[in-house]
Structure 1
């Protein structure tokens, strides 16, 4: 195997990649001969005492030297040229600090390297004059000419200046090969994680959040380890996953989450497999935002592509880096209204003021409203810790990077004194990258990552046995202690009166139904996951114009989830569900193999044109196996296996899909300022129907950079623009149906009469992928010497043949819906990104940024199929997919309104002046105030006071009124980073959503309206106390009845009084870092660097929303099973249903290296 010479390589220098230079052990001057005289091939191996050669290599040397003897004279001439060394340091032009990760390369060649953490680089180059260029994301490109003398060292230092825009940055995703951004006609968002090293982020989801316009993270709540759904430019599909596909170093990885098919939490606490990726090992993230950019990724890419590139080593002595983080977390104050109730008189002994005064030590009067902070009393201060260490380095032949990280979080949901349920997440992560350079034109890279994760969460969200929901539903007037326990006077129950004992039997949180808080805390939800990702990439450059590259990788996830309640967990004798205990177990394994081969051909076409052609093939084999079982009714305590249950069930699901595709792309450049791109991909998927022969996805685009034209800036107008680019792109991508959607299937039946079959899936042999066509146009503008920049994009997308579940005639025997290509979605939007460097001085610099994304989407057609609702038959969720509306629109009940608000010509019922939407006396007319005064002259109950709904379209459906949509028109972020006194760094990030943004506040709909587990909000308790109090006047009751119109919700008023304006502004991140001066770190501490950071995540929230948190979502990542698609996962957004707010997390960290 041939080793490369020092300073020569066949691979482009990519920002953040490894140093490909090698020592001058052998004279490879004949390489230059091959480059300039393609008809001559000569390799000369002069002996060197430091080279230890294997016998096979020695024989190879002999054979090549004999062959080279025919051209010895020419080779000797070239050998005489020799090689020299160029060394230097790259520093910031203002702060004078070294800049690491800078790509230093010879212009017009593939020779290059990267600077280390001290900004240093070394290149061994053929003798002669060369032009060195340096570039890095966030800095302007700089070049200088250097004369290389054989056997000598030339010094070449560079200073680089920060810029707000950079078209020379190299991207890979969507371009097929490493390509400068200026040449790519579509948007490719790049997140450089070096800029986040001091930010309060602990996983990849947080690295993505609030970074790029059009990329939204949808968290489900604030439990430890909860994942977030990802949306890029809204919804591209009605029924298939709207999650982007995710690659790590070219290998597709599991993007799902949740607990498998057989275990659930109620919606929250779902982990994300994306967060298994070690954030410390991530170098950068590239995001393709739609079909116009993702064509080369084919089927499944219409929802976007996220490609994660991990770190590699660079040449040099081993470099060790360590990070330690300690943090605390708390749920925000003021977001949880206390539990309200009111005392009764002696006719209700349980809720009488006499008993309550004894229980709480209060002085209540009958019908007096009071409160207890049941929910917040269960909170505690959470604790987080992260430890990370890495080593990197290498030689000319091998570079390496190894990282290990341990993450531990015990969340702020407490109540552990009540039971074993925990709010807990832990991950042990390891990453390694090895690069081999066996020859000057061969590079081999091996990447591995392994994660061992453990996750626990309490039962939560919209779950009658949820720990959080039961606390929210608690009635303080119902709180009591049972036999064997005594009240403390504070509302707690103790055994034998010992105030230091654990809470004893009782109902101190006033649960009115289902279970007590202590009983629910006996349930344990746990998950253990092992996640491995490995790949090998081989790149070979047989000659300078041609590069060949192959990647083979595998991603394997094995997760075991369990839901366990022990025998006798009904410790307060209230819960009635399987008091003998139960266990549900789900074992999910997913394997995906990625194989890719591509060739890149670069060539000049005369003096003005340059061509780059990329062609290749890609294939994926994904296999999912999910085996589960349950055991209920244990015969006694101490049993924890499903086989011990008296009632046992089993479940199994497996599926395998295969996708293969071939792609090609031609990029033609003219004088380095105009670029035309044409390409396409042909895909075949095992899920396509038998009549579908595959699908072709084309793409085209133009990028024009007028500021690179000769004589640009010679006029007064053009001189104002230091950078200007115009671009337009169009492309297609798609999403395939599920593995079995095309097939006619039957479900097995088991009974005492024998086995049987029942019709399940009708099947559709014509099933094909839905096709998304998208075009985008935009511009990048830099002014003031690129110290201020604007990036603007307009995009438009149409999804045709959208897969939608459709009901066919039940007379055929199949009652289930069947996927069909009948739908269409039309969407368009804007993306704006503004960056500025108003101050850039050695002791003080400021960088500002702001971005915004506008989204408009509409379901144009459902092919005659009826609308579908999130949650199926469950009436509380009002998110619909309905023709003519946004695919996440809300519909529900509406009360009769004044006639002044009724449109002209409408005939539906309305209120005349002085009327109210009641008919309390049952006379068939709307009540006047006088009617209400007469009826409310005596105490009444709220359950007898039914407001009158309206049916505006007269179709008999009182729940079809449009109430808004749960996706905002506008979303984005803004922030700043500053350097103070040279050694301090300050960073802020704010995130916002606004514009026709409606949140379903189901938490307060229940707390305001439900007669059993609700009416415990301040307003509802006050209204009910007033209506039922004999001492209230008739007018007080009338006023309370009118207030009740604003609170009444739930069946038969689903959708009424449960939607609010969800716009918000959140202070997402704040960090302050102190860098110990380099001289102090090295001379006194013996370190390359050391810094200290204090950071805060979710520092503050400003919103008119009165619920718990406008970012809560009932459906977490993968919340509706193992799969990511379906109506619930796609459109179950903006539903606040008994979750926990996003916690505030304060972290103290230290980073150092040597």
Structure 2
């Protein structure tokens, strides 16, 4: 072959190769970034699906509405869809790599997106269990000093029982009834996907004498103005991923974050006036016992008929309560960084004299993205300080209502408003009351109790949350979260001289408690989503978590002799001080969990979860861990059946779940105890090494209907719950 022919053939072979390489280079993919927002409010839309038409490429928007997806020159048409908004198709121009898409709200079917377990947002129609969401605006229409009370009447199946302890008192929240005889049956509170500590520092009395206090609950310290929305997960299936803590249901709190755009400042103020709704009806025919001298009748209205006096003793003692709350919020940021800050001040007065509360809430939340929005970092710090005076108690002891109600009807309580008189012999003021000898535990002057048996508590809470989420690929992201929740309280009671025994000593007595509760939480979760086909999608997660609780502190009282110098309240002023260290209550829970959510053609949904827990409270038993699964199925009928146009959604669902629960701390290794008065208590509780974790098995079926553009919503659920392996204390046999 001559050189000219060889050269010609070589050129002809190179040209097609060059053209093919140029074609590949021209068609190579490039990354497009964008944001999906609401057309009207410009708020970001999370969870929207972004697809490249003609390919299998798909992505979804994050919590800030952002997304990134690979496109090529042949396929540059994006389809954006999400529940509650009209689908939209966007054609990218040549070289266009950034885009902002505005979606219009659907007019015929407005489907909400709710926050579920572990902070994951899902379309409500895809859920296989019962849940309900309450917007933050609803919570702030009528404010309470306890956030839980704001949910009253807004969520079906929830029983909220407020205590009678006035401002700062606790609220018992029960979902679908009590399930355990050994636990407290309260719900788990989760803030921004992280469980918070809801252990009370003190509980209401469980006997007629009382004298104990209501320490309030930690959820009461949350500022309602910081809340974006609340999701209530009612059944065991909904709460299965949170484990034993969520055996009684979950209340998910999502707090507000900074918004992209100009800085906004909001100020709100609310005022409430409170009065007793009703008071006991009293008879006015009979007065004090015979001459006021008979010890069997002198303190009660069991004497002769009166001359018709009608004193309003209850109204004279009660006062008008109030609750003033002021809140200031600042929000702003850009596409890379957002900031949210809030401050709230609460001043409340109970209807009982001297019952006052002051609270300050500070909240700072930062969000930022890095590495082309692949890494999202969030952090928040919430600090609350509260001062509470004279929280009312139940029972006989230190309860001003007992003396108010039992005062003989022939006596005017206004005569005792000057609650003390000076004793020249002792050179101090003593209680002024018509009787202190016949029934000292019940017949104290109510003004003396609130002024000379006062209580005071100062509580500080620091809640730190941090999270980092990295998008490894369009179909997988890994998130790590951690939190520290620390609550400390100093509480004391001053009992002045002349308070009768057994409530007080001759010179008075002093009680002081300093308690700290710390919860530390951490988890790592991998979230995955697969579009198997145009009609079949799988979303799932696997993760692990650890939770550690610790309670510590000291307790002091002046002992059996009381104060050495009358009415001087400090620790050194006693001859027989009793100081004890509170039981160092320590507990830890380690867990692994997984879930899978399968969707077919957006009308059949299957949920599967599994979790295994290792609890420190199961030490010394034959079972060191416990496993529990759940499964649920939901079918949306309106998309496939020829239903009337006014039906926006029709769904049937069913689920079955098992939720485990461990034992109370230190149950599996029982020991003798020594009381603060150095009294040895011998353990008399029988212990079996065959103790097992508690199991709650729950089954539910239900249906949901939304009609006439969601103006009418119907949600009906039947559920059945059985709890086995419950823990009971049984006295050991004496044989």
TM-score by length of 2: 0.83
Whole-angstrom distance in 2 between the partners of 1:432 and 1:76: 48
Asked if the contact 2:146–2:168 (Cα under 8 Å) also holds between the matched residues in 1, the reply is no
Give per-residue Cα distances to partners, 1:78-104, cap 9 Å, x unaligned: 69x89798897644xxxxxx5867659
User: In 1, are the aligned partners of 2:204 and 2:214 still within 8 Å (CA)?
Assistant: no
Question: 1:855-878: per-residue Cα shift (whole Å, max 9, x none)?
Answer: xxxxxxxxxxxxxxxxxxxxxxxx
Map 1:617-696; keep pairs closer than 5 Å. 617-632=544-559, 633-637=562-566, 639-651=568-580, 652-688=582-618, 689-696=620-627
Determine if contact 1:679/1:699 at 8 Å carries over to the other structure. yes
1:377 Cα shift? Answer: 0.6
**1:213 alignment partner, one of 156, 165, 169:** 156
Q: Which residue of 2 aligns with 1:299?
A: 244
Q: Which residue of 1 aligns with 2:11?
A: none
Instruction: Confirm whether residue 237 of structure 1 aligns to residue 185 of structure 2.
Output: no
Contact 2:332–2:338, Cα closer than 8 Å, also in 1: yes
**Structure possessing the higher relative contact order (Cα contacts under 8 Å, 6 or more residues apart):** 1
Give the Cα separation in 2 of the matches to 1:495 and 1:609. Answer: 79
Tell me the alpha carbon deviations over residues 975-1027 of structure 1, each in whole angstroms, 9 at most, x when there is no partner.
xxxxxxxxxxxxxxxxxxxxxxxxxxxxxxxxxxxxxxxxxxxxxxxxxxxxx
Residue in structure 1 matching 2:630, options 678, 699, 705: 699
Unaligned runs of 5+ in 2: 1-20, 52-57, 295-302, 422-428
- By how many angstroms is 1:268 displaced? 6.4
Conserved in 2, the CA contact under 8 Å of 1:707 and 1:724? yes
Would the aligned equivalents of 2:617 and 2:668 in 1 still touch at CA under 8 Å? yes
Q: 1:779 aligned to 2:703?
A: yes
> What's the counterpart of residue 471 of structure 2?
541
Name the CA shift for 1:335/1:708 in 2 (closer, same or farther; >3 Å): same
Q: In the TM superposition, what are the counterparts of 1:576-615 in structure 2 within 5 Å?
A: 577-615=504-542
Offset at residue 329 of structure 1 (A): 2.2
- Is contact 2:148-2:220 (8 Å) kept? yes
| CA distances 1:542-564 after superposition (whole Å, capped 9, x unpaired) | 11111111111111111111111
Look up the match of 1:389. 328
State the alpha-carbon separation in 1 of the partners of residues 597 and 47 from structure 2.
Answer: 25
| Alpha-carbon contact 1:681-1:698 (below 8 Å) kept | yes
CA apart distance, 1:266: 3.7
Taking the TM superposition and a 5 Å limit, the aligned residue runs for 1:36-185 are 90-91=39-40, 98=41, 105=48, 107-108=50-51, 109-110=58-59, 112=61, 128-133=76-81, 140-149=84-93, 160=105, 167-173=111-117, 177-185=120-128
Is the contact made by 1:339 and 1:372 (CA closer than 8 Å) also made in structure 2? no
Q: Please give the per-residue CA displacement for 1:1100-1129, whole angstroms capped at 9, x wherever unaligned.
A: xxxxxxxxxxxxxxxxxxxxxxxxxxxxxx
Q: Classify 1:323/1:769 alpha carbon distance in 2 versus 1 (closer, same or farther; 3 Å).
A: same
Alignment match, 1:758: 682
Give secondary structure in 1 for the equivalent of 2:710: coil
Paired residue for 2:409? 476
Return the offset for 1:796: 0.6
CA–CA distance in 2 between the matches of 1:729 and 1:719?
29
Q: Take 1:282 and 1:559, find their aligned partners in 2: how far apart are those partners?
A: 25
Q: Is the 8 A contact 2:285 2:305 kept in 1?
A: no
Residues 618 and 662, structure 1, Cα contact 8 Å, conserved in 2: yes
Counterpart selection for 1:454 from 387, 392, 402: 387
Where do residues 844-855 of structure 1 align in structure 2 (5 Å cutoff)?
A: none
5 Å matches for 1:493-892?
506-507=432-433, 513-514=439-440, 515-521=444-450, 522-566=452-496, 568-570=497-499, 577-632=504-559, 633-637=562-566, 639-651=568-580, 652-688=582-618, 689-709=620-640, 712-713=641-642, 717=643, 719=645, 721-748=647-674, 758-811=682-735
Q: Structure 2 CA distance, aligned partners of 1:494 and 1:680?
A: 63
SS in 2 for 1:284: strand
Confirm or deny: 8 A CA contact 1:256 1:274 kept in the other structure: no
Decide whether the 8 Å contact of 1:286 with 1:308 is kept in 2.
Answer: yes
Query: In structure 1, what is the Cα distance between the partners aligned to 2:350 and 2:663?
Result: 38
Note if contact 2:48-2:80 (Cα within 8 Å) is conserved in structure 1.
Answer: yes
**Distance in 2 (alpha carbons) for counterparts of 1:750 and 1:229:** 30
Distance 2:475 2:66 in 1: 25
3-state secondary structure, aligned to 2:173? strand
Give SS of 2:729's match.
strand
Structure 1, unpaired ranges of 5+: 1-70, 92-97, 116-120, 352-363, 415-421, 481-487, 497-502, 812-1154
- The alignment's TM-score, normalised by the length of structure 1, stands at 0.54
| Structure 1 pair 286–810 and aligned structure 2 pair: CA distance change class (3 A) | farther
**Residue in structure 2 matched with residue 371 of structure 1 by the alignment:** 310
The reply on whether 1:442 has 2:442 as its aligned counterpart is: no
